[in-house]
Structure 1
Amino acid sequence: MYRFDRTEYDKRMEWYKDARFGMFIHWGLYAIPARGEWIRSVEEVPKEEYMKYFREFNPVDFDAKAWAKAARDAGMKYVVLTAKHHDGFCLFDSKHTDFKSTNTKCGRDFVKEFVEAVRGEGLRVGLYFTLLDWYHEDYPHYGDKNHPMRNNKAYTNENRNFDNYLTYMHNQVREICTNYGKLDILWFDFSYDDMRGEKWRATELVDMVRSLQPEVIIDNRLEVSGEGYGSLASGNPMPYHGDFVSPEQIIPPNGIQDVNGEDLVWESCVTMNNNWGYCAEDHYFKPASMLIKKLVECVSKGGNMLLNVGPDAKGNIPIESMEILHEIGRWMKKNKESIYGCGKAEIEKPDFGRVTRRGNHLYFHIYENTIGPVPLQGFKKEEVKGIRYLATGAEIPISDSWVHSDYPDMVFANLGPDPVLLDAVDTVLDVVLK
């Protein structure tokens, strides 16, 4: 009988809760048509037509070291790559299929190159693996919610053996858990309709994963999709419960708690534009200033951010994405102490920004200046050891101005006569309590 072990779980999650910031990479054949990773499903593309991209795939500019360096320079601590997405194409050398990168023109095992490069930059390694497979003949076709041939009666499910597919899928998970060294994250995607939990033989799958990778962290999508919290939140975790909740394209308004009101570990996965995979016409990129603030928001609510890039068909991370990563990295270089190892401050959110906390350090993230000294709520003057600009270490005096005499129980920071903030995006004050 499976029993949830809180001590073992907390130990497993320590590094992840400290890291707070990671990179997601969606990349595969779909980078060639360049209309997003769901192109086969959205446009109901037959397998025969999609295979032209398999025959063409040859990412001559692929450089795993460049990807890993971009993540590290942006201040990220872990990277998750789509080892296999829903189209069924594998970026690794699987013995169970011919539909893999080692059988394309380039003949390369991209997962192998990826894990070596990421470890080489001192980052944690994550692999994404889909539970769906639109290539495999035994996966449900007609009538399935997502399959490209869901509306084509010619693709009847008669004579399809789903158990054969599950054996195939389990065998591939075994390969990525066996052939590529220690994995830090295994990011399954995703459950839907009745395709969840034991429909995937999930207990058997997780038992196998844990036996091969005892310290790996697993998301909650064997039970749910981007919506739903999973059984860990119910107080009655199933054997295949996720180690963290995975909200998609949203930051939870109040963080995420279980039925007892206890905080759960969670990670918001977010795109830079409006697609996960490369989309040539999608130039709706979120500015770096916005993404920095969204990262801070995640941390202030006790969560992580997994920020996506979608490299193009040649293997290059788009220029827009690289520019955003560079700007984020420039801010992180000076302010990373307010992100790594931080979480909820357990004080009221200020009007001017947000607050993160690590031990006796309260980090006030100021997005806009105040008229007069800055009010720092949640503690008294006698509790403060000192206040510094995090980016420079410069001392900030506690204000004794008469203008806030009506608020004797509140601490005010004196930023001086210049109304322009040190950093227009996010100026961080490090308030050290005694």
Structure 2
Amino acid sequence: MRQQWFGEARFGLFVHFGLYSGAARHEWVQNYERLGAEEYQAYFDHFDPDLFDARALARRAKDTSMGYVVLTTKHHEGFCLWESALTDYTSVEACGRDLVREYVDALREEGLRVGLYYSLIDWHHPDFTVDGNHPRRGDDAERERNAHRDMDRYREYLHGQVRELLTGYGEIDYLFFDFTYPEEQGGWAGKGPEDWGAEELLALCRELQPGMLVNDRLGIPGDLVTPEQYQPTAPIVKDGVPQVWEACQTINGSWGYHRDNHDQKSADLLVRMLADSVSMDGNMLLNVGPDGRGALAPRDETVLAEIGEWMRRHRRAIVGAGHAPFVPPREGVYTRRGARLYLHLFTWPLGFVHLPGLAGEATYARFLHDGSWLRMSVTDPEQQADYLTPAGEAPGTLTVHLPVRRPDVLLPVIELTLRS
């Protein structure tokens, strides 16, 4: 029951925002450039998100037919977007605003599910030991200093902050932890579930928010799995059990605002990725990184608006839909919602699309974007010699007849009514 709303929603918005947004060169800039606390302090001193508008963000998600949003309450840099009693490294100290409060209130006004991201990593905390992901990993003296850092104290801090988030903002629908890395890197030990007190932390989540989803990145099983920056090629199954899953994807390869990264995915590619995820019973969580003032970049606004227009006409092929037990044609993928089967045409065929196994199953076909009828026929083996008749298909194959010109939408979808 905890996962029911999630499987219905299918599409969510990820929002990465923090001090790295002002740096404008990737959310891992502190790691990549090995910036010390003194160098990184400039981004705290100049943090002024005057254009961060949580209501506008929530409306954009809703207009794009997204059912939930996940905000980075604290990323690896350790900067918190809420008024934490456990640190002064917060947005309230930097700019006088509790951005988590603004965000949660805005989502509830729009009827969206509330997701919070929380990084298990903290490069700012004095007791977080230096490891292979830490900005100070190149300094051998840090190995000696690690002996004086206390991960027990850090665990207490981590659990305390999670308690703050789960008791201070009402009902939370989804908590996205990030991330566990037990493997040794560059001679430095990694961090596993025992470093986070993962079992106790998950128990705390269940106690405080029993209806909340928790992802799989504590290093122990959660409620869903979260493949990142790649698309699975089949429904995810583990030990014979289908898994709830969510593909986490960026628009341009960077999670945080990256001013000079123009490796932008097109709206039609992102829509294909979304349909592909749903066809395999998965969700897609699509990321945006607001800029240093808190606004979405115009290029991201444009992409989301294009996707929103496609979703306005094709929403029911995505929201509430899932995997269909039919083998799709080579031109695309199926999603299914009740007695409706949706064929998402990734490539546009000439004149016909052949659908094995659907003869006698489908009673009506139409384009979803405009509701226009499409003729269907079933292959007759006695007519195979007719050079104007589709050939090479098995007898009984259902064929849908298509216009030569591809519809002017990001991704054409055929809706097929199935016999009940």
Identify the TM-score tier after normalising by the shorter chain.
over 0.9
Q: Whole-Å Cα distance in 2 between the matches of residues 371 and 34 of structure 1?
A: 46
Matched length? 401
1:389 pairs, out of 367, 388, 393, with 367
Gaps of 5+ in 1: 1-10, 224-239
Q: Whole-Å Cα distance in 2 between the matches of residues 248 and 327 of structure 1?
A: 23
Aligned 1:8-407 pairs, distance under 5 A: 11-104=1-94, 106-141=95-130, 144-155=131-142, 156-193=145-182, 194-223=190-219, 240-260=220-240, 262-380=241-359, 382-399=360-377, 403-404=389-390, 407=394
Q: Whole-Å Cα distance in 2 between the matches of residues 281 and 373 of structure 1?
A: 44
Q: What secondary structure is seen at the aligned counterpart in 2 of 1:95?
A: coil
Q: Displacement of 1:372 after TM fit?
A: 2.8
Q: Displacement of 1:199 after TM fit?
A: 2.5
TM-score by length of 1: 0.90
1:51-103 CA deviation, whole Å, 9 max, x = no partner?
11111101111110111111111111110000000000000110000100000
Q: Displacement of 1:190 after TM fit?
A: 0.1
1:140-189 CA deviation, whole Å, 9 max, x = no partner?
02xx1111111213332121111000000100000000001111100000
1:223-275 CA deviation, whole Å, 9 max, x = no partner?
1xxxxxxxxxxxxxxxx521111111001122311022x32111010010021
Which segment is superposed worse, 398-407 or 77-86? 398-407
1:419 is the counterpart of 2:404: yes
Asked if the contact 2:84/2:164 (under 8 Å) is kept, the reply is: yes
Q: CA RMSD in A?
A: 1.4
Q: Displacement of 1:344 after TM fit?
A: 1.3
Q: Whole-Å Cα distance in 2 between the matches of residues 118 and 328 of structure 1?
A: 20
Q: Whole-Å Cα distance in 2 between the matches of residues 378 and 36 of structure 1?
A: 48
Q: Whole-Å Cα distance in 1 between the matches of residues 99 and 88 of structure 2?
A: 15
Q: What secondary structure is seen at the aligned counterpart in 2 of 1:137?
A: coil
Q: Whole-Å Cα distance in 2 between the matches of residues 377 and 25 of structure 1?
A: 41
Q: Displacement of 1:354 after TM fit?
A: 1.2
Identity of aligned residues (%): 43
Asked if the contact 1:373/1:399 (under 8 Å) is kept, the reply is: no
Asked if the contact 1:137/1:160 (under 8 Å) is kept, the reply is: yes
Q: What secondary structure is seen at the aligned counterpart in 1 of 2:413?
A: strand
Q: Whole-Å Cα distance in 1 between the matches of residues 60 and 409 of structure 2?
A: 24
TM-score by length of 2: 0.93
Q: Displacement of 1:371 after TM fit?
A: 2.5
Q: Whole-Å Cα distance in 2 between the matches of residues 212 and 121 of structure 1?
A: 24
Q: Displacement of 1:400 after TM fit?
A: 6.2
Q: Whole-Å Cα distance in 1 between the matches of residues 217 and 284 of structure 2?
A: 17
Asked if the contact 2:289/2:296 (under 8 Å) is kept, the reply is: yes
Q: Whole-Å Cα distance in 2 between the matches of residues 34 and 365 of structure 1?
A: 36
Asked if the contact 2:151/2:195 (under 8 Å) is kept, the reply is: no
Q: Whole-Å Cα distance in 1 between the matches of residues 73 and 155 of structure 2?
A: 17
Q: What secondary structure is seen at the aligned counterpart in 1 of 2:283?
A: strand
Q: Displacement of 1:379 after TM fit?
A: 1.8
Q: Whole-Å Cα distance in 2 between the matches of residues 427 and 274 of structure 1?
A: 26
Asked if the contact 1:367/1:425 (under 8 Å) is kept, the reply is: no
Q: Displacement of 1:383 after TM fit?
A: 2.2
Query: 2:281 is matched by which residue type in structure 1?
Result: G
Q: Displacement of 1:46 after TM fit?
A: 0.4
Q: Whole-Å Cα distance in 1 between the matches of residues 394 and 113 of structure 2?
A: 47
Q: Whole-Å Cα distance in 2 between the matches of residues 50 and 400 of structure 1?
A: 67
Q: Whole-Å Cα distance in 2 between the matches of residues 252 and 389 of structure 1?
A: 27
Asked if the contact 1:377/1:411 (under 8 Å) is kept, the reply is: yes
Q: Displacement of 1:202 after TM fit?
A: 1.2
Q: Displacement of 1:385 after TM fit?
A: 2.4
Query: 1:360 is matched by which residue type in structure 2?
Result: A
